[in-house]
């Protein structure tokens, strides 16, 4: 009889432990930040295989040493390459001056890049220190660029990241697509 009570007690304790663990993991998955990342994936039409890349893309240097700086540089290059390919495909005779102007129109932090990022609501997603303004164009633009760096890393293909950029951006220089 004593072994039955011990077994029953052990089952109750173990089942309680597993229920607590299950509840804790559910809370982690449904945190506001994780929910925002899920929404962002839906908005961009790209689902990350390694969500860690998107987490890093949405982390400003003021928040952590593990941040979006490097992904933002890669993303900026993805955007510049995609814009270059698009306009060279339209007109192979485009002047370097005009091509540089088109690239600038698509990646300037105070216009197109920040507008695209604000439209996606990145200012509400990007993690920053309390002293940092998450709505500052540079913060939003770097997070926007970092998304495409993160996609390039996740797929190991720059072209895939460029395709998502055009889907999100809308395909016109300096104009963000309404979602």
Taking only the tens place, the pLDDT of each residue in 43-79 is 999 999 999 999 999 999 999 999 999 999 999 999 9
Q: How confident is the model at residue 104, as a pLDDT?
A: 85
Mean pLDDT calculated for residue range 104-110: 71
Query: Quick one: average pLDDT of 84-109?
Result: 88
Domains of the chain: 30-178 (1.10.1520.10)
Question: In the predicted model, what is the mean pLDDT of residues 102-108?
Answer: 79
Residue 156 region by backbone torsions, left for phi larger than 0, else alpha for psi between -120 and 50, else beta: left
Conformational region of residue 171, where left means phi above 0, alpha means psi within -120 to 50, and beta covers everything else: left
Say which residue the tokens 């990145």 belong to: 122
The pTM score is 0.78
54 and 147 Cβ atoms separated by less than 8 Å: yes
């Amino acid at each position: 009889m004593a072994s039955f009570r011990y077994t029953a007690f052990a089952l109750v304790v173990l089942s309680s432990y597993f229920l607590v663990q299950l509840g804790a993991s559910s809370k982690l998955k449904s945190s506001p930040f994780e929910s925002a990342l899920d929404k962002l994936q839906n908005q961009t039409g790209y689902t990350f295989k390694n969500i860690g890349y998107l987490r890093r893309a949405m982390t400003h240097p003021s928040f952590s040493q593990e941040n979006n700086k490097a992904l933002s540089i890669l993303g900026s290059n993805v955007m510049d390459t995609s814009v270059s390919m698009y306009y060279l495909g339209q007109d192979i005779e485009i002047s370097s001056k005009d091509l540089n102007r088109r690239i600038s129109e698509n990646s300037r932090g105070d216009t197109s890049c920040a507008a695209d990022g604000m439209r996606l609501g990145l200012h509400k997603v990007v993690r920053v220190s309390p002293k940092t303004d998450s709505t500052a164009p540079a913060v939003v633009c770097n997070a926007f660029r970092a998304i495409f760096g993160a996609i390039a890393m996740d797929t190991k293909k720059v072209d895939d990241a460029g395709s998502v950029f055009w889907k999100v951006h809308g395909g016109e220089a300096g104009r963000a697509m309404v979602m």
